[in-house]
Amino acid sequence: MRHLIILLLTAVLFSCGNSKTATNVSMETAVAVGPEFSADSAYAYCKAQCDFGPRTMNSEAHDRCGEWIASKFRQFGLQVTEQKAVLKGYDGTQLKATNIIASYTPKGGQATLPRILVCAHWDSRPWADNDPDSANWRKPVVAANDGASGVAVILELARLVSKTDSLGVGIDFVCFDAEDWGVPQWSDASDTGDSWALGAQHWAANPHTKNYKARFGVLLDMVGGSGAKFYREGMSMHYAPEIVEKVWNAARVVGYSSMFPNSEGGMVTDDHIPVNEKLNIPTIDVIPHYDSCPQSSFGPTWHTVNDTMENIDPNTLKAVGQTMVQVLFSEK
């Protein structure tokens, strides 16, 4: 995961005006829909990724984990596309990347059905450059939360939707590669933000389907950490405030409003930026914001050697997963 954009939000954040009243009315009558999201299953998918070791670019662990992720989607009966590309890192390193796209369409569903995009990144940060111990700054990150947790929730969602034909939409689950090769804090290189989200930048410029469109998108980033709360991310509010409202409403319906507070967090450079800017798909970032964490507003394990399974909380996976079930199964 990426860096925080240091900007004031005054010109960016929006009030909902009259639409807020309508939303509140609908919330009073909204009911939970869809199947039960299994936190145990998501936790197991998270651990399975970490068992490969750090999934850093150009490593054997990275390649083996990518094959495993694609195989799980195929096991669930989804159509899988592996989009391969050689991308240039900030330091000139040639990164052998694979974006993994798994597409679901209800049986008998028309090809013209509206589609929903759900995405995460699956690579690991190659440097623990935010670790409190400088001796760890060039060590790779296991990335249990910052990478594996988002993919884990996506895999469990894919398993659940594969068991139903009642959805009124198609879903594209996209696992972006090469997200976390951004300029490290110990480097003298300038960081304009373009060194992050390389896989998402490539996919947004070259989508797996010609003229790809989706009704909206949701990016899941670091969705398994202990003590996580998901504030309304600033760039999401800029590009897609109505989708933020949709997802936060869903969290309230399924009982997780305390983890999705009605407050704004920071503005983040992440995979949703190129999707919004290049494809004009209103896409939001579900990402934690730790108000009082001295290590980072992204949480105490962000880009450290402590981003391990010991710090993954099944309750957080459950909150995000059940919220996404509510979102997907409410679409018509």
What pLDDT, on the 0 to 100 scale, is given for residue 12?
A: 39
Give me the mean pLDDT over the 120-125 stretch: 98
Query: What would the pLDDT profile of 43-74 be if each residue is shown by its tens digit?
Result: 999 999 999 999 999 999 999 999 999 999 99
Which band of pLDDT confidence, cut at 50, 70 and 90, is reported for residue 166? confident
Structure tokens at 157: 């969602």
pLDDT for the residue numbered 3: 54
Q: Is residue 5 part of a domain?
A: no
Q: What is the pLDDT of residue 192?
A: 87
Q: What pLDDT digit, counting tens, does each position of 91-115 carry? A: 999 999 999 999 999 887 677 899 9
pLDDT of residue 1: 57
Is 63 among the domain residues? yes
In CATH, what number is assigned to the domain containing residue 201? 3.40.630.10
Q: Is 185 part of any domain?
A: yes
Task: Taking residues 199-207, report their average pLDDT.
Answer: 98
> Is 2 a member of any domain?
no
Total domains present in the chain:
1
Angle between helices 150-161 and 39-50 (to 10 degrees): 130
**What pLDDT band is residue 198 in, cutting at 50, 70 and 90?**
very high
Instruction: Judge whether 223 lies within some domain.
Output: yes
**pLDDT over 90 (residue 4):** no
Q: Is residue 67 part of a domain?
A: yes
The reported pTM is: 0.92
Percent of the chain with pLDDT over 90: 87
**Chain-centre distance of CA 94, in angstroms?**
24
Q: Determine which of 8-12, 86-90, 152-156 has the lowest per-residue pLDDT on average.
A: 8-12
pLDDT score at 165: 87
Structural domain including 255 reads 17-330
Percent of the chain whose pLDDT exceeds 70: 90
Mean pLDDT of 318-322: 98
- pLDDT tens, residue by residue, 7-52: 434 333 333 333 333 344 344 468 999 999 999 999 999 999 999 9
Rounded to the nearest integer, the mean pLDDT of the chain is: 92
Domain annotation covers residue 1: no
- 248 occurs within a structural domain: yes
The reported pLDDT for the residue numbered 8 is: 37
pLDDT tens figures, 242-289 = 999 999 999 999 999 999 999 999 999 999 999 999 999 999 999 999
